[in-house]
Chain A
Amino acid sequence: MSATLPDKESVLAKMAEHPAVAAINSAIPESFTDARWDRDELTLTIAREAIVAAARAVQRAGYNFLEDVTAVDWFPAIPRFQISYHIVSHSLKERIRLRVLIDEAEASLDTIIPVWPAANYYEREVFDLFGVRFDGHPNLRRIMMPEDWEGHPLRKDYPVEGYR
C-alpha cells in the first residue's frame, strides 16, 4: 500500500485492523486526534495528556522497542512543538510514529520512562535542545550543552551562527 492516507477518517477506513491503529483507537479513542499514512509510514497523533496511555497501548499491541524520541519546532506555528516517538515491533517487523503536538505556553508532557526506560536520554536531549519539559522524569538535566548554557539551540528562533 503506497497511496497517501491524509487524515484519521481515511486511515480508520482503510487500516482499522492495523494493530497499532486498533490498539490506540480502542484504548484512547477520544485522545486519538489524527493519523496519517505517508511514504509507507504510519503516524498517529495523540493528545498531550494521553501519551503514556498510548505508549502502553502500542506496547501491548506488540510494538516492544522504543527506537527514538525527538522533537520538531514548527515556530511560529501554533502549536509550536511536535514530539515524535518511533517505535519498532520485533514480531511485526514494523515501525510506527506517535506524535504529540504541544504549545510553547505549556511546553511539557508526561515522561514515558515508566513504559520504556530507554526514553531517559532522549527526553533529556529534547529538554536540552528544545526546552520541552517531561513531567516525572527522574533526572531532567542538560545532556549535550554545558549545565549553565542559556537557551535551547535547536529552537528555530535560536541562530545557527553567532554567539546566542
Chain B
Amino acid sequence: MTDVAGTPILEAPIAEGSADQTMVLNMGPQHPSTHGVLRLVLEIDGEIVVRLYPEIGYLHTGIEKTCEAKFYQQVVPLTDRIDYLSPMHNNLCYCLAVEKLLELPIPDKAQWIRVLLSELTRLNSHLVWLGTHAMDIGALTVFLYTFREREDILRIFEDVSGQRMMTSYFRIGGLAMEPPLDFFDRVAAFIKTFPEKIDEYANLLTGNPIFVNRLQNVGMLSAEDAIALGVTGPPMRASGVDFDLRRDMPYSSYEKFEFKVPTSQRCDVWGRYLVRLEEMRESVKIIQQALDGMPDGPVKADAPKIVLPDREKMKTQMESLIHHFKIVTEGFAVPAGEVYQGIESSRGQMGYYVVSDGTAKPYRVHMRNPSFASLQALETMCRGRMLADVVAVIGSIDVVLGEIDR
C-alpha cells in the first residue's frame, strides 16, 4: 500500500507549530520500564509530556494467522505464548470459545480446577506486576519478595502441568490430565501463608512516602475516558467502573463463588495499586472456596471424538487407540458458526473470537487483549504530566507486549 509506506515515523506525532519549543524523545523499545519492546515517541516541553505516541508491533509473530493453519487442539499451546504472565487465562478463554462452538458440556471438577488455576494465574501475574512496578518507582526490595512467592506458584504449575510458564493445561473438553495427588495440599499450603505475604508487601509500599508521592494523583483517567478508550480490568475499576466479567457475565462456574470486586474512585495510579492488591486477597478467597467445595468426578468431557483418551486406555483398548489416532492425525470437525468468549484476565477483559467453517481447522481466531486497548489511554493519562510519571503510568496499566503484538 503506497499510502502507508514511506511516512516518516516521527512526522505525525509532532503538534503543528510547536516544533521550535519542544523536542522529540524516543523511549524504548529497549527501555527497562517498558516491560518488553514498547516504544514510545514522546514530544516533550522541558520535562512536560505534550504528546505521546506508542509504536507497537515489535513482537508481532502472526499468531492469528498461524492458528488458521492448525487443528483446533494444536492452537492451545500457541495461546500460552500470547500473554506469558497469564498463560492459563489464554488457555481458558480459547477452550471456552471452542467448547461453546461444539456445545460441549464440561464436568464440574474440571471447571472448578480451571477456576482455581485461573486465580493462581492472576496471583502470579499480579506478583510480577507488583514487583516490577515497585522496581520502576525505585522500591527494589519488593521485587525480591514477590518473586519468592511467584516461584511457589510456578512450582505448583510445574507440578500440575509439567511446565512452569507455557502450561497448556486446559484442553478443549476439560483438562490435560488429573492433577497429581499432592496438588490440592500444595495449593492449600500456599494460600494459607499468602495473605500474610500481601500484608508484607503492603507494609513495604502503602506507607512508603516516596512510593505514595510517586503514585498519588498521577495518571488520572476518568470513568468516561476509561469506557471510551476501551480500558478494562483493574485500571477501569480504579476509575470507579464496577464491572467484572467473573461476576457480571460468569463463565466456567464463577457464579458459584462468592467474592468482592474491588473498586476505587481515585482514578490514579495509586487507585490501581490498591485495586490490584485487594484483588489478590479476593483471589485467595476464591481459591479457598474452590479447595473446600471441589466436586468429584472426571476432569474430561465424555466426548471420545474430541477429547484424547487416557494413556492407559489408549494402550489397551482398540476403540481408544482409533480415536486417539483420528484426533491426532485429522483433528475433529467443529460445527460452523462464530462465537466470542470473554473472560476476566489479570489485565482486564480478554476475548477470543473463533469462527468455524465446519472443518477441523479454525477459519479465524482473533484475540481481544486487554493491554492492547489500555495502551490507547496512555496519552490521556500522561499528557501534561512529568516525563518521570510516564514510567509509573506504564506500570499501572500492566502492559504485556506479547499480548499487544501477538
Contact = CB atoms under 8 A, between A and B. Distances in A.
Interface stretch (B169-177, B291-299, B364-372, B391-399): B364-372
**Shortest beta-carbon contacts, A-B, top 9:** A118-B230, A68-B368, A144-B60, A70-B366, A144-B57, A160-B69, A93-B248, A148-B5, A72-B364
Give the interface SS of chain B, mostly helix, strand, loop or mixed. Answer: mixed
Interface in B350-406: 351, 353, 355, 363-364, 366, 368, 372-373, 375-376, 405-406
A160 B70 CA distance: 11
B154 interface: no
Given A68-B340, A68-B351, A131 B228 contact: no
Interface stretch (B6-14, B20-28, B125-133, B300-308): B6-14
B405 A39 contact: no
B56 interface: yes
- Most chain A beta carbons < 10 A, residue from B351, B366, B372: B366
B342 A67 contact: yes
B62 interface: yes
B117 interface: no
Interface stretch (A16-24, A27-35, A50-58, A135-143): A135-143
B315 to A, nearest CB: 35
Given A72-B338, A118-B376, 17 more contacts: A38-B337, A38-B338, A41-B338, A41-B340, A65-B227, A72-B355, A72-B363, A72-B364, A86-B351, A90-B241, A116-B228, A118-B230, A120-B376, A129-B64, A143-B57, A144-B406, A147-B5
B65 interface: yes
Given A86-B368, A131-B1, A145 B6 contact: no
A25 interface: no
B376 A117 contact: yes
Contact of A121 (B338, B363, B372): B372
B6 A148 contact: yes
Interface of A: 38-39, 41, 43, 64-68, 70, 72-73, 84, 86, 88, 90, 93-95, 97, 116-118, 120-122, 129, 131, 139-148, 150, 153-154, 158, 160-161
A84 to B, nearest CB: 7
A95 B249 contact: yes
A144 B340 contact: no
Nearest to A148: B5
B349 interface: yes
Interface residues of B, number: 46
A112 B106 CA distance: 38
Interface in B238-252: 241, 243, 248-249
B4 A66 contact: no
A147 B7 contact: yes
A145 to B, nearest CB: 7
Given A68-B368, A160-B69, A141 B7 contact: yes
Nearest to B68: A160
Interface in B318-358: 337-340, 342, 349, 351, 353, 355
A101 B227 CA distance: 27
A3 to B, nearest CB: 12
Interface string B56-88: 110010101110110000000000000000000
